């Protein structure tokens, strides 16, 4: 896992908002995927740092979040 500032490569990625993000703004997460990595950033701070993880790590995280989201 790796936190980093925005790079040219990150700017060239196709970012999309979480399906749980509303149109009214607020707290939104954007994700961009490639074969080697999944990039995650705050949609309100697109030039700020992004978190980069492996596709396996992302799948593990989203699976965990889905299993535990109804317990919140």
What is d(CA 10, CA 12) in angstroms, rounded to the nearest whole number? 5
**Span 14-61, pLDDT tens digits:** 999 877 666 666 678 899 999 899 999 998 888 889 999 999 999 999
> In the predicted model, is pLDDT for residue 5 greater than 50?
no
Q: What is the dihedral of CA 8, 37, 47, 64, to 10 degrees?
A: 180
Residue 68 pLDDT: 86
Residue 70 pLDDT: 66
């Amino acid at each position: 896992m790796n936190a980093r500032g925005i790079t040219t490569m990150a700017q060239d990625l196709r970012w999309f908002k979480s399906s749980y993000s509303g149109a009214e703004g607020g707290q939104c997460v954007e994700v961009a995927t490639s074969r080697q990595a999944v990039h995650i950033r705050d949609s309100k701070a697109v030039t700020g740092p992004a978190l980069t993880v492996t596709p396996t790590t992302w799948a593990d995280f989203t699976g965990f979040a889905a299993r535990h989201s109804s317990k919140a």
